[in-house]
Amino acid sequence: MPRRVLIVDDESDLREVMDYNLRHAGYDVGHADSGNTALASAQRWLPDAIVLDINLPGLDGLAVCEMLRLLPSTRTIPILLLTALTSEQTRKLGLELGANDYMTKPFSPRDLVARVGKMVEEARVPHAESS
């Protein structure tokens, strides 16, 4: 069964580029174009990873990230923040709120697919418990 990735971005052209590249890499891809839709889609579909923009209509991506980490059903889904916001402060905040990775636009589709793949694989590997 193919791994599932939820793309959350309000720019349809970027969603199409990401969709094409992730599907070509073997992923099943879902879409959301707002923060509220992203929360509902993530809870319903339970993807293996989420690519999340920060600048979204309604709830912004940082609020969505934080909420996803609070919900039991989505708490462990890896999140890649993909945004035009390049400040170190925003990157740090995104990671503190629970994102697994942070990538800025413009982006390399090849790098996006590689990062998503790494997050999905890391999430599949059970972590050894510390003794």
Please list the ranges in the chain whose pLDDT falls under 50.
128-131
Domains of the chain: 4-124 (3.40.50.2300)
Residue 4: the pLDDT is 97
Residue 91: the pLDDT is 97
Residue 2: the pLDDT is 85
Residue 51: the pLDDT is 98
For the CA atoms of 9, 12, 15, 20, the dihedral, rounded to the nearest 10 degrees, stands at 180
Residue 63: the pLDDT is 97
Stated length of the chain? 131
Residue 37: the pLDDT is 97
Residue 33: the pLDDT is 97
CA 112 and chain centroid, separation: 10
For strands 101-104 and 49-52, give the pairing.
unpaired
5 near 50, Cβ under 8 Å? yes
